[in-house]
Amino acid sequence: MKNLIVNLNERSYPIIIGSGLLAQTGELIEQLNKGKVLLVSNPTVLNLYGDKVLNSLQQAGLNVNVATIPDGEIYKNLQEASNVLDKAVCCGLERDSLIIALGGGVIGDLAGFVASIYMRGIDFIQIPTTLLAQVDSSVGGKVAVNHPCGKNLIGSFHQPRMVLIDIETLLTLDDSEYRSGLAEVVKYGVIYDRGFFAFMENNIDEINTLDNETLQELIYRACTIKADIVNQDEKEMGIRIILNLGHTFGHSLEKLSGYSLRHGEAVAIGSIAACYLSCQMGLMDTGVLENIQKIYKKLNLIPPYPDIDNSQVYEGMLNDKKVCQGDIRMVIPLNIGNYHVLSGVGREAVEEALAHTKVFCGSDYQ
Ligand SMILES: NC(=O)c1ccc[n+]([C@@H]2O[C@H](COP(=O)([O-])OP(=O)(O)OC[C@H]3O[C@@H](n4cnc5c(N)ncnc54)[C@H](O)[C@@H]3O)[C@@H](O)[C@H]2O)c1
């Protein structure tokens, strides 16, 4: 078992990472000393892991109710949040009660959002069960639901009291979901930590085969980086923006593909495009680009490039919610572990970077 702390003064909390932790949920959260608990999940995750978690909570003497929302991003909405709030009221959740989010990023974001508004905010803990949720969405306190006009438009910052990561849950995850989470993990190395990048380069086979010890180290190091960035910039006023590497290209590609590209796949393509952009501007060495491309291919993170015109991708980028008054600002890597925030990125540069990326996506890289 490995532990680390997100350091936010009175809002600090532990992240506990290990194997088989679900069956110990009750004792691990005992210190929070809560009476009533509302477990929020979806039918997929509840079927797989509900019994383990519920038995453990009941053995610890906790009074547990369960709220489920249907499986899927489309249910990360205000109506489902409202249903969970109804459940919280009906089962008499009080100011000192606890909400537990058991599932991927959709469940974590929605349950955390409910916890942030119920009685002006009650405690919640995250038990993330996808790789993306374990290394990214469960850490940092961004909680939200979607609005028909855009993702995560209704939300708040509400830090969990604890994050419990049981890496065994990854064994039931679809390979494509696993790769989608890995794209975010690689991003941390590229943008922030050369040592972590080298660790991944040296453990490609172990990562691809979900070796237990390697996964524990991988998730621990990824969470350490995310926690370090959140510690410096909780509300995304500064350095937290670097977590958006590849996202400006990625969001546009994701949307234009009609969401046939998964988020992680789109971010992986977007990250490579950002690297090309950096090379075009003479800010990154082509040798560095080669190393980055290699790891994305070896971890099987690059899908076929979607059939989309590059000029459309540029237009889509202009509509990104992080683009202000037509100024495309984005994070680009300079070297591994080092970044720059680029402003005023123009159409020509974007389309050229995408043209290179398209060729790369279609290549057989050794
Ligand atoms: N809050 C943040 O900082 C932040 C950061 C990144 C992403 N997000 C959000 O996260 C969401 C995406 O999260 P996600 O990728 O985890 O998707 P998800 O929650 O939809 O989970 C993906 C699928 O995996 C299933 N699943 C979950 N755990 C499983 C397991 N152990 N075994 C088998 N199946 C399992 C789910 O039921 C679902 O069908 C998006 O809504 C995104 O906006 C939030």
CATH number of the structural domain spanning residue 147: 3.40.50.1970
Same domain as 71, residue 195: no
Name the domain count of the chain.
2
Same domain as 290, residue 217: yes
Active site residue 294: no
Same domain as 115, residue 85: yes
Q: Give me the tens of pLDDT residue by residue for the chain, a chain 366 residues long.
A: 999 999 999 999 999 999 999 999 999 998 886 689 999 999 999 999 999 999 999 999 999 999 999 999 999 999 999 999 999 999 999 999 999 999 999 999 999 999 999 999 999 999 999 999 999 999 999 999 998 887 888 999 999 999 999 999 999 999 999 999 999 999 999 999 999 999 999 999 999 999 999 999 999 999 999 999 999 999 888 899 999 999 999 989 988 998 889 888 999 999 999 999 999 999 999 999 999 999 999 999 999 999 999 999 999 998 876 777 778 889 999 999 999 999 888 999 999 999 999 999 988 765
- Annotated catalytic residue within 9, 10, 33, 120: 120
- Report residue 212: phi and psi, to 5°: -55, -50
Active site residue 184: yes
Record the pTM.
Answer: 0.94
How many other CB atoms are there within 10 angstroms of residue 325's CB atom? 4
- Annotated catalytic residue within 236, 315, 351, 352: 236
Domain boundary among the residues 115, 137, 172 is at 172
Same domain as 151, residue 17: yes
The one-character DSSP state at 95 is T
> pLDDT at position 319, please?
81
Residue 293's domain is classified under what CATH number?
1.20.1090.10
Best mutation site among 130, 166, 182, 236 for ligand 1 pocket (most ligand atoms within 8 Å of CB): 130
For 114, the domain range is 2-172
Active site residue 240: yes
Same domain as 242, residue 149: no
Same domain as 127, residue 54: yes
Domain boundary among the residues 150, 172, 194 is at 172
| Ligand 1 atom 44 nearest Cα | 137
Domain boundary among the residues 152, 172, 192 is at 172
Same domain as 56, residue 33: yes
- The region, left, alpha or beta by phi > 0 then psi within -120 to 50, assigned to residue 4 is beta
> pLDDT at position 365, please?
60
Same domain as 159, residue 117: yes
> pLDDT at position 161, please?
97
> pLDDT at position 225, please?
97
> pLDDT at position 226, please?
96
Atom nearest to 140 CA in ligand 1? 3
Return all residues near 78 (Cβ < 8 A) that are at least 6 apart.
145, 147, 154
Give the Cα separation of 269 and 165 in Å (integer): 28
Same domain as 289, residue 273: yes
Return all residues near 280 (Cβ < 8 A) that are at least 6 apart.
349, 352, 353
